[in-house]
Amino acid sequence: MGLDVERRVREILGEALELPPERLQTLGRESALLGAVPELDSMGVLAVIHLLEERFDFIIGDDEIDGTTFATLGSLIDFVAEKLGD
């Protein structure tokens, strides 16, 4: 898994949730997302999924994701890396 995937996932989170760069920089791989980032509500999750699909050129099936995918920044990065085959 490359740092490029992590960087791009961070950028997507920032764009989809309209988070300022300073706030994104405070998030580590173990940082909780669901329940900890107020902007990541149901609409926020949909916005993130849409941008992930668009930017990484893959489709995310409804059966592929659940709450654990968005549990932490690391779990989201790992999910994307797995989809990309990294």
Q: Residue 1 pLDDT > 70, yes or no?
A: no
Question: What is the dihedral sign for C-alpha 15, 20, 25, 30?
Answer: negative
Domain ranges of the chain: 3-84
What are the tens digits of pLDDT across the range 12-37? 999 999 999 999 999 999 999 999 99
Percent of the chain with pLDDT over 90: 94
Distance CA 75, CA 5 (A): 12
| Predicted local confidence at residue 29, as pLDDT | 96
CATH number of 3-84: 1.10.1200.10
Helix axes 42-56, 73-84, angle to 10 degrees: 30
